[in-house]
Amino acid sequence: QVQLVESGGGLVQTGGSLRLSCAASERTFSNYIMGWFRQAPGKEREFVAAITSSGRRTYYADSVKGQFTISRDNAKGTVYLQMNSLKPEDTAVYYCAAQQSQYTTTVFTTTHGYAYWGQGTQVTVSS
């Protein structure tokens, strides 16, 4: 059972930045595809970004391309989401997710692709 713990959320003004972290308990972290999703009040959970197990490829929702950056440190068992130029519409609970995969070039962009989820961290962007 993989445990994921997010941190780094908070309250920030429009235009500000935050860096989210997600630490995994799994020793074989490098075998896992990692993703970030978010869920705003009254909305479904949506894909934000994903990174292959090797870290060589990244994928983003159109709404955050050029604004957010996903990265990972396999030695530390941690995935990050750097969020810049934040806007009020980025306000949501952000979740990291993990899925074990033997394929180093694969990611998943839907919630169904991930077996393990963190508890979420709140990001609030004030106008």
Q: What is the pLDDT of residues 73-95, one digit of tens each?
A: 999 999 999 999 999 999 999 99
Three-class secondary structure of residue 30 per DSSP: helix
Indicate if the pLDDT at residue 102 is higher than 90. Answer: no
- For residue range 29-44, list pLDDT tens digits in order: 999 999 999 999 999 9
Model pLDDT, residue 90: 98
Model pLDDT, residue 103: 82
Tokens of 42: 């009254």
User: What is d(CA 102, CA 31) in angstroms, rounded to the nearest whole number?
Assistant: 7
Model pLDDT, residue 60: 98
User: What is d(CA 89, CA 92) in angstroms, rounded to the nearest whole number?
Assistant: 8
Helix (H) or strand (E) holding 93: strand 92-100
Query: What average pLDDT does range 103-125 have in this prediction?
Result: 94
